[in-house]
Structure formats: structure tokens, C-alpha cells
Chain A
């Protein structure tokens, strides 16, 4: 089955830029989705069909995808961005969905 690999943690100072990667075999040809998850709450869709954003998601959150890595970029990081972030793709071969292991973003 398809595997998505994310770094367990990323730390960034307020106002700086956070970059969260998602590695997968030839992920550049996949439709990648990204979610933000604050513990105790429902996950929120941030990026769909990389790099589109749902309404209400600020422009400082963006996605890119190439070769074997998809990337979520958050500029001008705020305290409220501290959360877990997950990438996701659909595995056509098994009609199943795959999440990356998640990245905990810490705002210093």
C-alpha cells in the first residue's frame, strides 16, 4: 500500500515560515490533501487537490507538490497554528485513503 512519510515535528518562531513535507513514491502525480488538527477538535481541511484552499483558509497557507515530495508552507506563523498536520492521498488501486504519520508544529 501507498506510504506517506512526514517529519514527526517542526518548530518555528512566530512570524517565520513553517515548511512541512510529505514524502511518497511519485507523489507529484497524486492529488494531495492537507489537514490541520487541534487535539480535541475535528480536523480541518487546509489544502485540497494541492494547492487549492477551501474558503476561509488564509493565503499564508499554501501547498506544492513535485516528484516525491509534497510540501505545506505556512508563512507568518501564529500561535494558533500550533497543531498537528497531516497529508493525505487516495490510493486508487485499493480504493482506500492514506494519511501521513502527522507532523506536530510547535510555535516557539
Chain B
């Protein structure tokens, strides 16, 4: 099982960025996918979840209106679209997967997003 994030980089404040999470070696339809970030020097912060059929979609309150999640079942890829980026959004963004309310069994290595002024 592998989750591979991509799309990180340097972006100016106010800009947009789309992160991707490609899943392999797993039954895509069995899992719920999450985005979690870690701001430098801080702890893990859950951002969003999305089920493969999109019946479950939820976002952290502080990013509602700026971040959205979507998926491409054919590509087995989940996306985090971020807009109106702020300096405080600078973080490593991880993709993770779980079943139901179980623990996040699988994690990617993360992709770094740096927001510059």
C-alpha cells in the first residue's frame, strides 16, 4: 500500500495550490481519505476527509471556504485544492487513509507547501 503526495512548493500569499494523493496497492473504494498538516514546530492538524463515493466529505472549520477536497476514482487520486493561501498555511501536508472510524492505517510521506509574502 502506498500513498504518494505531490503538488507542494512555494506559493505567494493569496495564491492557490492543488495537492494530489495517489493511492496504490489498496482497494480505493474501501477507504476514506484524509488530509492532515503539520505546521513547522507544531503538531498534527486534521484538515479534511473524503470517501471514495463522496458521500462523506468534511472540512476543518478554519479552512471551509478556502480548501476543498475531491477525487478521481479512475486515477485513484485524491486532491486538496487550496485557495487564498496564508503565511500560516505553510506546512507539510500529509495524505492518510482509514476505514470507518478506525485509525489512519496508511500515510504518505508528505509534501511541503511554503507560502511566501
Complex CA distance for A8 and B108, rounded to whole angstroms? 25
Inter-chain residue pair count (beta carbon < 8 A): 62
Complex CA distance for A45 and B98, rounded to whole angstroms? 11
Interface residues on chain B, number (Cβ under 8 Å): 23
Residues of chain A contacted by B25 (CB below 8 angstroms): none
Name the distance in Å between B31's Cβ and chain A's nearest Cβ: 14
Please classify the interface of chain A as helix (H, G, I), strand (E, B), loop, or mixed, using the class held by over half of its residues. strand
Interface set, chain A 76-101, CB cutoff 8 A to B: 84, 86, 88, 90, 94-101
Q: Which residues of B contact A (CB under 8 A)?
A: 34, 36, 43-46, 49, 56, 58-61, 94, 96, 101-105, 107-110
Q: Which residues of A contact B (CB under 8 A)?
A: 1, 31, 33, 35, 37, 41-45, 47-49, 54, 84, 86, 88, 90, 94-102
